[in-house]
Structure 1
């Protein structure tokens, strides 16, 4: 059996990346794959902004 792991990193609920990850997982499961997914949220991922990196 093929196994896939997907991670979505958006801090916004119902972001497009989370929705796309869910759709991809559904399709892979339908094809017989085992799928694990995870969400990187504020408790596991510190928010950062491009300006923080550009000012260094």
Structure 2
């Protein structure tokens, strides 16, 4: 689902994660706009969320 993402500078976007591969993300906003992001530039909270989601899928 959609959630608020933030980078390390505090810039925020409301989007859903549609693809994750090798530290690269594709986020899609509700209006359909796609955003490419690097996991390394995300906030600590978002990197923790990604790690938790990946752990769920590995089980």
Give the TM interval when normalised to the shorter protein. Answer: 0.3 to 0.5
Structure with greater helix percent:
1
Q: Between Structure 1 and Structure 2, whose CA radius of gyration is higher?
A: 1
Which structure carries more relative contact order (alpha carbon 8 Å, separation 6+)? 1
